Amino acid sequence: MAVQRVAFYGGSFDPPHLGHLAVARAARDLLALDRILFAPVGAQPLKPIGATVSFDDRVAMTRLAVAEEPSFQVSLIDAPLPDGHGGWRANYTIDALSRLRSELPRNSELFQFMGADSFRSLRLWQQAAEIPFAAQLIVASRPGEQLDDLAALLPDGIVHSVPVDLLAGAVRRFTLSDRSGRTVPFFLLLGLHVEISATAIRSEWETARKLLPAAVADYIQARGLYGATA
């Protein structure tokens, strides 16, 4: 059986916009990924205020956003987690990756795809030093951003090698290692960040509609989300 290269792409997707799709397409094409799993998150620990709209709405919008991309799928692996007391537990990426790994075929290669902004907070994540070894990291950087402060951004105990440029400099490949001697590839995709702000979309609906897949914009308008009116 051929090895499947699967990337986990978590986030609020509040709402999913054209920037999410653009960087995911670039990552897929540059690194020959077979599938990218868009996984709306239930409750992000680093965003205590939470998402603006419900998890069900964010899942529905994400399904619409990826509907025309056969290699993009929606995953519920990071769905809300009941705490047993009528509330919800925080969702941690390391747990989602563990659940996902148990569901994938044993010969799958698992990647964690994220933007530079998310990567800059990685040190604060639960079991941050384990995440690169649970899934190979792929980070989409902004145009002109090299993440030269990579050593300061990596979790404690992880160091990186001198990078190797691949695909005419579009991809920078590092090797990460920890104190126990484990090693894993790390991929920095150069110049892929798309400057679209979900916050701006939510606050300026009439001017932001063009930044969304048409089906997502129609869904938002039909349900009156983010202040849109039918």
DSSP 76-104: -TT--EE-SSSSEEPP-HHHHHHHHHHHS
Q: In the prediction, which pLDDT does 159 show? A: 95
Mean pLDDT for 171-182 is: 96
Round to whole Å and give the CA distance between 161 and 69: 35
Kind and range of the H or E run holding 63: helix 55-66
Q: Could you tell me the pLDDT band of residue 34, with boundaries at 50, 70 and 90?
A: very high
Q: What's the CATH code of the domain at 34?
A: 3.40.50.620
52, two tokens: 């603006």
Of 180 and 88, the structure prediction assigns the larger pLDDT to 180
Q: In the prediction, which pLDDT does 43 show? A: 87
Mean pLDDT for 40-48 is: 86
Say what the alpha-carbon torsion angle 66, 72, 77, 78 is, to the nearest 10 degrees: -50
Q: In the prediction, which pLDDT does 52 show? A: 86
Give the chain's domain count. Answer: 1
The packing angle between helices 55-66 and 214-223, to 10°, is 150
pTM for the whole structure: 0.92
Beta partners for residue 179, in sequence order: none
Domain that holds residue 147: 5-227
Q: Could you tell me the pLDDT band of residue 87, with boundaries at 50, 70 and 90?
A: confident
Q: Could you tell me the pLDDT band of residue 135, with boundaries at 50, 70 and 90?
A: very high
Q: Tell me what the pLDDT averaged over the chain comes to.
A: 90
Name the pairing type of β-strands 35-40 and 5-11.
parallel
Q: What percent of the chain has pLDDT over 70?
A: 90
Q: Could you tell me the pLDDT band of residue 51, with boundaries at 50, 70 and 90?
A: confident
